Amino acid sequence: NLMKLFDRKIWSGLLKSGFERYFMTGKIINLRQARKQKKRADKETKAQENRVKFGRTGAQKNADKVVKLKTDKHLDGHKLDD
């Protein structure tokens, strides 16, 4: 009987004063997974920065190839044979 009364008092006190205050209600996370996610996000951010800094589109690369081929052909056409 004493235990029932004790349990009732505790639970009624918890319910009145805020159940969340006495028990952890935060989201439980796996720290290993959180670290891996952060590392992936950092890698993606760095990759994006490098794309902007060093990257060129395929069209730009192809245009440069065409210009190089034309200039090489032009120079080869003007070579003097010995």
pLDDT for the residue numbered 29: 81
- Token pair in block for residue 57: 């589109």
Q: What is the pLDDT of residues 29-40, one digit of tens each?
A: 889 999 999 999
Residue whose C-alpha is closest to residue 7's, from 17, 25, 15: 15
From CA 9, how far away is CA 17, in angstroms rounded? 12
Segments of the chain with pLDDT less than 50: none
